[in-house]
Chain A
Amino acid sequence: MSPRTQTLLAEFYDRNKKIITALLAIVLVFILGQVVVSGFLTIHQVLITMKLASFIALFGLCQMLVMSAGGAGLDLSVGYTATITAIFTASVMNGANSNLWLAILIAIGIGLVVGLANGLLSAYVKLPSLVVTLAMSQILQGTINVYTAGRLISGKPSPVLQILAAKASGIIPNIVLLLLTVTVVVMVILYRTKLGATLFGVGENETAAYLSGINTRRVRTIAFTMSGIIASLIGLLLIGNMGVAFKDMGSDYVLPSIAAAVVGGVSLRGGNGNYVGVVLGAILLQTVLNLLVALGWGDAGKWTGFGIVLYVLLMAYVGNRRKR
């Protein structure tokens, strides 16, 4: 190997360290799973993992947008935003395609209101975004409680959504193809347009961005608003996948989505974010989760495992202890 290729390889590794780590970890967990539980590593199992990971990865997009805009931003309200959209649009669609456009409009509307409120309170009123979005989740959950009090959640998703979220083309689930498309679009927007540069610029160094004439608070608010709208649209996919809407359908995705973004190498301090990494992070987490389920650990093992994984990753990736 010539020295030049060596330096190029080293550079490539340096730039994509976290992606390579995530890939290796996925392979490792699959092999570990195959050793512990027979039948863990099959084509079928891999495809199911990919499908389930797609939802985490899509929620991870919300987290990445908010995180890369800096200010220790995180969006904990994505789960309930998706849930409330699913519940409200279920009766609108009522199992027909004719009202799908109306459902999409409602979804965008809900996401816009929630995301804008989160963004304004975080960026302009300068409240910690975690506290704001946690309170927002409670408000959304409360609204769902009020809506469902003494009333059944009725309605079915439109067939188009069911094909998109639950069916497969050949053996590859459609949602995986959708995720691939989203990944390409996101990567192009973030790395080839001014919007991406602005977003990362604000996250990297707020003062510098402000002094170069960027309205940093507006950029941060836009990041939260986009997060809300995307989360709301994922709600449509969730109901498409499940076939019905129910009260807590989205809330279990919040922690995995943050963990996926952190595993994928998105810095909590802002300024970077590679969506490919987030997608791999989501696949890794889903594989770990599958393993825990295959071992029969249930809810307790799932939350303990996820929490410990996130804690350890935070220490390893974000930890910044003072050296004496």
Chain B
Amino acid sequence: MESNTQGTSRKFRQLFAKPEYSSILMLVVMIVLAAILQRNFFRPSSLILTIDAFSPLILLTMGQAVVMLSGSFDLSSGAALSLYTCVLTWIMKTGEPFSGVVALLVTLAVAILVGIINGFGAGYMRVSSVVVTFATAYVWLGIGLFIRPTPGGDSVNWFNAFYDFRNVEGAPQIFQNLGAFLPPVLLLVLLACGIWYVISRTRLGRYIYAVGGNEESAYRSGINTARVQIAAYVINSIFVFLAALFFVGQNQSGDARFGDPFTLRTIAAAVVGGIALTGGKGSVYTALVGAVIISLVNKVIFFANISYAYGTLVAGLIVIVAIAGPQIYQIYNKRSAEIKRSPA
């Protein structure tokens, strides 16, 4: 009987030790909690609002996850997000639909450049990625402030399509109907998933894992590690760009400072989603689940009626717990495994 319970507990621990299962377990717990606190959680209209609120962090976390898989961090993604909203609203002119297309293309080019600059420092010059992206974060902030010293700017009407189809003037009836139950940002998330699905099946996808797992041996087996790391940063930039589209669609304006708080949360979310801090391990899709979990934690705090002043404090504590928790658990597990293996 005793051995049996031991067997079950080991099985349970093994189950929990697999990051995919533990994050899905956490997801279920958080959804139940949120549903208890917010009565109409499952009503379609409120679900759409929830997806709207969560999606930017999901996109940013997926990008961060790609970078972390390649063995680096990006501390500039929040600042880059702000920069893209500034560039978008700087180029667009209200009432000139075509300027939206130009803005889209120019900002995408800016995003790719941002990724290359980060990747050049961290991958090619091999400087610690945290410090490089910490420095570039200030450059993005500064450029954003040049363009837009105070929040504001122009936007074209069809950019509403990134937030709610129904807000687009003169949209066909089918879009009006779609908008009632389909948040467009969900399409952006699906697009990001699609992009990653394709990439993860190419050689580049495998190389990202290889470089993140062991840069030195990846290099020795002939992989151009610098190029792989630059590619990872560019993919991240593109996902951040998708999040910027959502925010401009929602707010119709740009702001050089609003993205900052996101940076840390993306790392926390990726870790909760099972991405190893040391790189090479995890999946971008479970990182997505991590982003939902972190967002749900914030939602639960909101519905638990905690004062607004506590927001930053609680967010910081959650990040520490989210990052340190799995790590402590792992260290403890390794140690107890060593004790068991050693002859009594």
Contacts and interface: CB of A to CB of B under 8 A. Distances in A.
B139 A135 contact: no
A311 B117 CA distance: 10
Contact of A303 (B121, B125, B142): B142
Contact of B127 (A128, A135, A138, A319): A319
A56 to B, nearest CB: 15
B125 A315 contact: yes
Interface string A126-168: 1110111011111111110110010000000000000000000
Main SS class of interface, A: helix
Given A300-B149, A321-B126, A307 B324 contact: no
Contact of A125 (B75, B264, B328): B328
Contacts of A139: 313, 316-317, 320
Identify the interface centre among A121, A142, A255: most chain B CB within 10 Å of its CB: A142
A304 B128 contact: no
Nearest to A67: B131
Interface centre among A128, A131, A139, A301 (most CB of B within 10 A): A131
B313 A142 contact: yes
Interface stretch (B200-208, B288-296, B304-312): B304-312
Given A128-B73, A142-B311, A322-B219, A74 B131 contact: yes
Contacts of B128: 72, 268, 318
A134 B264 contact: yes
Which interface residue of A138, A141, A315 has the most chain B CB atoms within 10 A? A138
Interface string B120-150: 0100111110111011111111111110010
Contacts of B331: 125-126
Given A142-B312, A314-B132, A318-B127, A131 B137 contact: no
A299 interface: yes
A302 B139 CA distance: 9
A280 interface: no
- Determine the interface band of chain B, counting residues with CB < 8 A from chain A: 35 or more
B143 A300 contact: yes
Contacts of A127: 277, 323-324, 327
A141 B143 contact: no
Interface residues of A, number: 46
Centre residue among B126, B138, B263, B309 by max chain A CB count within 10 A: B138
A178 B132 CA distance: 32
B320 A121 contact: yes
Nearest to A124: B331
A258 interface: yes
Interface string A53-77: 0000000000000000000101010
B251 to A, nearest CB: 21
B24 interface: no
Nearest to B268: A135
A6 interface: no
Contacts of A126: 327, 331
A193 interface: no
Contacts of B219: 322
Nearest to B321: A135
Contacts of A132: 320, 323
21 contacts: A72-B131, A130-B73, A134-B75, A139-B316, A139-B317, A142-B310, A142-B313, A145-B311, A145-B312, A149-B309, A255-B138, A299-B145, A300-B142, A300-B144, A303-B142, A307-B136, A307-B142, A311-B121, A318-B127, A320-B125, A322-B219
Given A134-B75, A142-B314, A307-B136, 17 more contacts: A72-B128, A128-B130, A132-B320, A135-B264, A136-B320, A142-B313, A142-B316, A255-B134, A255-B135, A301-B142, A303-B145, A310-B138, A311-B132, A314-B121, A314-B125, A315-B127, A320-B125
Interface of A: 72, 74, 76, 121, 125-128, 130-132, 134-143, 145-146, 149, 255, 258, 268, 299-308, 310-311, 314-315, 318-322
